[in-house]
Chains A and B, each alone.
Chain A
Amino acid sequence: DAGITQSPRHKVTETGTPVTLRCHQTENHRYMYWYRQDPGHGLRLIHYSYGVKDTDKGEVSDGYSVSRSKTEDFLLTLESATSSQTSVYFCAISESEVTQYFGPGTRLLVL
């Protein structure tokens, strides 16, 4: 949706390098989420945030960290990228912690 952007949209990186993905929203929604989507697994929650500086782990958080210093930005960092982190990453936002709206996604390839 126009209210959510993700950058970069595509990235190729090498194993062992750090990578940061950015999610930016203009909706002033309180809740933000990072998911990965892989064939055979569906969407899986990595980390989520329920406010500035308030974050928590999702179901597949190992190897990932997040930060939210402003309402509009939620950053996902792969501390040392591995080939298993090759995936499509989606950011989502929610005003009420019920319905989530997704950003366009980032395709990450780790070689």
Chain B
Amino acid sequence: GQNIDQPTEMTATEGAIVQINCTYQTSGFNGLFWYQQHAGEAPTFLSYNVLDGLEEKGRFSSFLSRSKGYSYLLLKELQMKDSASYLCAVRVPFNAGNNRKLIWGLGTSLAVNP
């Protein structure tokens, strides 16, 4: 089966650092994505990891370990506007041929408090 696990909720303080974990068990792996989704809005792309290691992009970093089926999203210098849901998604083979699809986690709702 295909399964992605992330914590349901997290809270953190403005200016702090928070790490959101994602573990996955999938049939095949072609990369892992993190998206941010504010309430009532569309998901927006944050990061893509296909090789092991850390990818840094400003205040946001994403880490991948394929052997452990594990990723995390690290948010530094938290701001109030970072209060949102963070979605982990794994790209997997789908149907015949070279088709791929995303399997989505349920998201981690992050509340940043002053």
A interface, CB within 8 angstroms of B: 1, 40-45, 48, 50, 56, 58-59, 90, 97-105
- Interface positions of B (Cβ within 8 A of A): 31, 33, 41-45, 48, 87, 89, 91, 95, 99-102, 104-107
B32 smallest CB distance to A (angstroms)? 12
In the complex, chain A residues whose CB is within 8 Å of the CB of B33: 99
Q: Find chain A residues with CB under 8 A from B100 CB.
A: 97
Give the total number of A-B pairs whose CB atoms are below 8 A apart: 42
Residue numbers in B under 8 Å from A1 (CB-CB)? 44
Residue ID in chain B nearest A103 by CB atoms: B42
A98 touches B107 (CB 8 A): no
Chain A residue with Cβ nearest B88 = A42
The reply to whether B42 and A40 contact each other, CB–CB distance below 8 Å, is no
Name the one of B41, B44, B95, B106 contacting A42, with C-beta atoms under 8 angstroms: B106
Given contacts A41-B106, A42-B104, A43-B89, 20 further A-B contacts (CB under 8 A): A1-B44, A40-B106, A42-B87, A42-B105, A44-B104, A45-B101, A45-B102, A48-B101, A50-B99, A56-B95, A90-B42, A90-B43, A97-B100, A98-B48, A99-B45, A101-B45, A102-B43, A102-B44, A103-B42, A105-B42
